[in-house]
């Protein structure tokens, strides 16, 4: 089954139709836009943006977030609240070079605005733990979200001021063939706050049942903010920090799989694009990803 940090979903829109409409006025600063987002092309982003959350977001309240462009992303700049949803554009096995283009100042620019082979738009939502069959097993959960396009498995996540962690993986329904896997300790997906050159890692033992079968293995996540720059998406162009994560899954002395993932993360919007490698990718940059995901209108 497929589950990894590259499928962590960071959402920003509040309507089931995604981010439609909005203010098309010109701007030079975020504060000139009702949405709090001035695109790189000098136009305001849509006004129906949930953007990010306040410091007490884990208590369920929220307020509009305006990016301060300080080069750091903290919990108040990540829109991770149950009920958020947005449209993402997925492509499987497309051609895309993760290297991007170098700028004179040492930053980089990546462009995912073009249509990719097999593109599919999908609304993805952060589900509330309240009332879920798995809630008693994960009492600290903040939200759950599907882990992969075409899969119904849910990743169960917790968010606080220090980190975003993966607590477990579950099936939507209970029953004899349910999936209920717990991470001990929880996998650290993001360490907060983070900025250029930040690093973090975690090693988790995963145990429980997968489709009713007793399962145990280990996952190690190693993450580095390796680049800064801008990412152009169908929704707009964002200043971003690129988080590179290497996932290694083992059972005993055997390596089951390895995967490299890049997540381009923007203040107040979270992950606006992710690219995941094929299994056992050996290059630090690659042009034949297994999946590309980016935010769409």
Q: Is the pLDDT of residue 119 over 80?
A: yes
CA distances from 72 to 5, 100, 228, 249, 255 (A): 20, 22, 11, 30, 34
pLDDT tens-digit series, residues 165-218: 999 999 999 999 999 999 999 999 999 999 999 999 999 999 999 999 999 999
| Residue of 52 and 236 predicted with greater confidence | 236
- Phi/psi of residue 284, each to 5°? -70, -35
CA distances from 240 to 110, 111, 135, 202, 228 (A): 10, 12, 34, 24, 6
Q: Give the confidence band of 67 by pLDDT, cuts at 50, 70, 90.
A: confident
The pLDDT score that the predictor gives to residue 143 is 97
Nearest-angstrom CA–CA distance, 131 and 116:
39
Q: Is the pLDDT of residue 13 over 50?
A: no
Computed over every residue of the chain, the mean pLDDT equals 85
| Closest by Cα among 270, 263, 269, 257 to 244 | 263
Average pLDDT over residues 58-71: 65
Q: Is the pLDDT of residue 25 over 50?
A: yes
- Three-state SS sequence of 196-263: CCCEEEEEEEEEEEECCEEEEEEEEEEEEEEEEEEEECCCCEEEEEEEEEEEEEEECCEEEEEEEEEE
Give bridge partners of residue 166 from the DSSP assignment.
Answer: 157, 187
Spatial contact of 10 and 78, defined as CB atoms under 8 Å apart: yes
Q: Is the pLDDT of residue 24 over 50?
A: no
Spatial contact of 67 and 237, defined as CB atoms under 8 Å apart: no
Cα dihedral across residues 199, 232, 282, 216: positive or negative: positive
The pLDDT score that the predictor gives to residue 150 is 75
Helix (H) or strand (E) holding 144: strand 143-146
**Residue 148, number of CB atoms within 10 A of its CB:** 17
Residue 84: partners with Cβ closer than 8 Å, 6 or more residues away: 11, 12, 13, 14, 50, 125, 126
Nearest-angstrom CA–CA distance, 72 and 296:
24
**Residue 129, number of CB atoms within 10 A of its CB:** 20
Average pLDDT over residues 234-239: 96
Q: Compute the CA torsion angle 114, 146, 50, 295 (nearest 10 deg).
A: 0
- Phi/psi of residue 164, each to 5°? -110, 120
Q: What's the whole-model pTM score?
A: 0.83
Structure tokens at 128: 């509330």
pLDDT tens-digit series, residues 127-148: 999 999 999 999 999 999 998 7
Q: Is the pLDDT of residue 17 over 70?
A: no
């Amino acid at each position: 089954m497929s589950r990894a940090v590259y499928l962590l979903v960071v959402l920003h829109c509040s309507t089931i139709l995604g981010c439609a409409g909005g203010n098309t006025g010109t701007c030079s600063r975020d504060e000139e836009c009702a949405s709090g987002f001035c695109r790189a092309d000098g136009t305001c982003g849509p006004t129906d943006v949930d953007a990010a959350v306040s410091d007490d977001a884990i208590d369920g309240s929220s307020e509009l977030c305006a990016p301060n462009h300080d080069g750091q992303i903290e919990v108040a700049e990540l829109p991770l609240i149950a009920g958020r949803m947005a449209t993402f554009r997925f492509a499987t096995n497309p051609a895309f070079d993760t290297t991007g283009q170098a700028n004179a100042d040492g930053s980089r620019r990546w462009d995912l605005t073009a249509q990719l082979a097999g593109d599919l738009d999908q609304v993805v939502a952060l589900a509330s733990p309240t009332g879920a069959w798995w809630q008693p097993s994960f009492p600290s959960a903040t939200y759950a979200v599907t882990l992969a396009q075409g899969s119904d498995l849910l990743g169960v996540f917790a968010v606080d001021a220090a980190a975003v962690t993966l607590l477990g993986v579950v099936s939507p329904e209970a029953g004899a063939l349910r999936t209920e896997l717990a991470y001990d300790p929880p996998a650290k997906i993001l360490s907060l706050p983070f900025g250029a050159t930040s690093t973090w890692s975690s090693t988790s033992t995963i145990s429980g049942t997968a489709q009713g079968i007793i399962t145990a293995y280990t996952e190690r996540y190693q993450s580095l903010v390796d680049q800064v720059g801008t990412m152009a998406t169908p929704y707009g162009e964002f200043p971003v920090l690129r988080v590179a994560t290497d996932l290694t899954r083992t059972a005993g002395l055997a390596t089951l799989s390895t995967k490299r993932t890049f997540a381009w993360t923007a203040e107040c919007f979270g992950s606006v694009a992710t690219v995941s490698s094929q299994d056992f990718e050996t290059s630090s940059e690659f042009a034949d990803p297994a999946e590309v995901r980016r935010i769409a209108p």
